[in-house]
Amino acid sequence: MFNQIPDYLTDPKWKLSRDDFVPAYLKLYETDRSVFRGRIEEGLSVLESCNVCPRDCHVNRMEDEHGKCRTGRQAWVGSYFPHFGEEDCLRGWNGSGTIFFSFCNLKCVFCQNHELSWEGAGKQVTAEEISDMMIELQDRGCHNINFVTPEHVVPQVLEAILLAIEKGLHLPIVYNTSAYDSIHSLKLMEDIVDIYMPDFKFWDPGLSKFYMTENTYPKVARAAVREMHRQVGDLRYDSDGLALRGLIVRHLVMPNRVAGAEDIFRFLHDEISPDTYVTIMDQYFPDAQVTRKPDRYEEISRRVTGGEFREAKKAARDAGLYRFDVRWRGERMAWG
């Protein structure tokens, strides 16, 4: 079943011509390849005393020492495939080409991908192998390459992108992140990433510490989202509604308002842009540590109610936001 196309998708203000669009990384590569290679060298040098992410573990990952993310010289990939569960502007009719990296620099007690983030399901891969995954997804008709949880493997991603360019990659690149990113790493990705998609999880430092083991998360996320928006601006798409460049911010609604949705939405409107494209998600369910210790995590040991989800959507509208992801393509389009 198809829903009505949102008004903002028909507004020419947000349109880019697919024929004229060139991914950011191709522009950089064609302008000065030495800059691209310099970014890789800089990223790999950071691994020698790692501060790729805000954890600043300062272990030598080039020698396979492990810090909080438990990842050494090579990245780990859990899976890669055309994803039809992403935003309509990403999944289109052939899917978003997702590459899920294993491990994570956060430890969310409710993580719904804990097999990857906590347990490290998947396998260690080289940059060459990641580049082959990108080309395979492109050959399968995916509309973009979607790196999921890349915060701790930015240098490895840069290596893979360069190799994929030389194999013919030409799709927009999506950086799909928790927003616990260092500004240094984000600047390495400038003029390489086309679409940033951070998930702004929590506003309160104390609750961030309790539920994600990191009280600096809100401060880091605010700075990261600012930097992402500075690089790519508000979301724009082609005549088919497929995203080409810009910022998408996700927010997972949590039980008992623990995430601080009202504050997050006000921040996005007032300090990022009133035109920020937002995905408000209602798929929270108790998982991982929450199911093992329900008494400790009692406030989030149930699903979100319909009333809580409607309240979050109202908070976003009251903040002045208006560009929300909705399902409008219909499931049939996802399968051709």
pLDDT digits (tens, 9 = 90+) for 180-204: 999 999 999 999 999 999 999 999 9
Distances (CA, A) of 233 to 15, 23, 176, 227, 276: 13, 15, 16, 10, 9
Give residue 277's pLDDT: 97
Block mean pLDDT (10 aa), the chain, length 336: 66 90 96 94 97 96 93 96 96 96 93 78 94 98 98 97 98 98 98 98 98 96 98 95 97 97 98 98 92 95 96 98 85 38
The yes or no reply on domain 7-330 and CATH 3.40.50.920 is: no
The predicted structure's pLDDT at residue 116: 77
Residue 287 confidence (pLDDT): 87
Three-state DSSP state, 124: strand
CA atoms within 13 Å, Cβ hemisphere of 286:
17
- pLDDT score for 125: 97
Q: Which two tokens stand for residue 114?
A: 């804990």
- The confidence score (pLDDT) of residue 181 equals 98
Q: Under 8 Å CB-to-CB from 45, ≥6 apart: which residues?
A: none
